[in-house]
Amino acid sequence: MAAIVCSTAVFANDSTKNDISLRYGIGHLGKQDLIFSPFVHNTWSAVNIGMRYERKAKLHHYADLSFGTYQPILVPSYTYDDDQRTAPHYFILVNLTYGLGKALRLSNPKATLSVGGNAGINLQPSVYSFGSFSSLGYFAFIGVGAWTKFSYRFSDHHRLDAGLNLPLAGLTARSPYLINDDEYIENTYSHKGFRTLMAFLGDGQFRTLNSVQQADLHVQYTYDINRHWGIGAAYEWQFLHASQPASLIAYRNIFYLTGAFKF
């Protein structure tokens, strides 16, 4: 799912049109992937970072990159075989999105609304650790969707943004029903990371909302320090459900601190 945390300034009263922002936050992940486990894996993580470029001129563009890692474990780590210890699973979440839209005029001059379409990549490699044995898993989505963003400026310094991103259709690749079938093994035959990734993606199938549902909501408050700099706090909620070859359900809550430079 494309990460759309609009950690940027609004352009309502600004002469600046471009905005680059960074964000860092604490997140909570809940994930149940029946390919690997019938259990829900919950954990908090302090590794959630993102970067965004946004330009609002005649058209409204943005490019957004986010990265997060999570390490859930069902029960606290324990010792076996005298000196071996169990380890948590390891989930990586990477999103890259480009969006293009149009700002609509609203009757309230303090408010703006943009709508548009986007294209994005959502990569979620994972390592499930089962004591002395571990399995590599993956979810990948390369597709298109729709987005909207509403901004409201309370004053020269205070602004609130809210947005929604809905990936609609695209190439979806997931681990096989029992993790490593022959096609999976064939895909790893090159023993080179990038070629393996491409092979996994090559086995993907075109999916629509029928079998993959994703959503990404965000709310952000921004304080504009001056014409060029702004800081803020944001909340983001992500949701993912894929039904094939076995159910995958995940959600993520992230609380960000943001900083933006406008020019």
Partner 1 sequence: MRSFFLLFLCITLLGSCKKVFFREEPANDPEAIFEDLWKNFNENYGPTEERNIDWAALYQAYRPQINAGSDEQTLYQVITGMLSVLNDGHVGLIAPNRDRFNSNYILHHSIGDELFDLKLIKTYLEPGYQTGEDDAYVYGKIQGTDIGYIYFDYIGDNFFVLNDFLDKNLLSKGIIIDLRHNQGGDFTYCFSEIGRLTNQERLVFRSRTKNGPGRNDFTSWYSWHIQPKGSYFDKPIVILTDRYTISAGERSVMAFKTLPNVTIMGDTTCGAHSTMIGRELANGWYYTFATQNTLMYDDISYEGKGITPDVRVVNSSFEMLNGIDRTLQEAIASF
Binding-residue pattern over the window 182 to 211 for partner 1, x denoting contact by CB under 8 A? xx-xx-xx-x--------------------
Shortest separation between residue 203's beta carbon and partner 1, angstroms:
13
Residue placing its CB nearer to partner 1 in the complex, 24 or 251: 251
Residue placing its CB nearer to partner 1 in the complex, 38 or 226: 38
How far, in Å, are 61, 92, 119, 208, 237 from residue 99 at the CA level? Answer: 6, 23, 6, 19, 19
Q: Is the dihedral of CA 135, 216, 3, 243 positive or negative?
A: positive
The reply to whether omega before 38 is within 30° of 0 (cis) is no
Residues between 57 and 86 with contacts to partner 1, criterion CB under 8 A: 74-76, 78-82, 86
> DSSP label at 180?
-
How far, in Å, are 37, 42, 153 from residue 214 at the CA level? Answer: 21, 19, 29
Interface region with partner 1, contact rule CB under 8 A, candidates 16-24, 46-54, 56-64, 245-253: 245-253
Contact in structure between 61 and 103 (CB atoms under 8 Å): no
Residue 117 in the binding site for partner 1 (CB under 8 A): no
Closest CA to 62 of 95, 105, 15, 29: 95
Residues between 97 and 116 with contacts to partner 1, criterion CB under 8 A: none
Residues between 163 and 182 with contacts to partner 1, criterion CB under 8 A: 176-182
Interface region with partner 1, contact rule CB under 8 A, candidates 2-10, 15-23, 200-208, 234-242: 234-242
Closest CA to 235 of 93, 52, 27: 27
Number of residues that bind partner 1 (CB under 8 A): 55
Residue placing its CB nearer to partner 1 in the complex, 76 or 107: 76
Determine if residue 81 is left, alpha or beta; phi over 0 gives left, psi from -120 to 50 gives alpha, anything else beta.
Answer: left
Residue 162 in the binding site for partner 1 (CB under 8 A): yes
In the list 92, 96, 115, 219, the residue contacting partner 1 (rule: CB under 8 A) is 219
Q: Cβ atoms within 10 A of the Cβ of 182, count? A: 8
Residue 37 in the binding site for partner 1 (CB under 8 A): yes
Residue placing its CB nearer to partner 1 in the complex, 16 or 86: 86
Structure tokens given for 136: 């590599």
Residues 6 or more apart in contact with residue 130 via CB below 8 angstroms: none
In the list 24, 67, 90, 251, the residue contacting partner 1 (rule: CB under 8 A) is 251
Binding interface with partner 1 (CB under 8 A): 28, 30, 32, 34, 37-40, 42, 74-76, 78-82, 86, 128-135, 152, 154, 160, 162, 176-183, 185-186, 188-189, 191, 217, 219, 235, 237, 239, 241, 245, 247, 249, 251-253
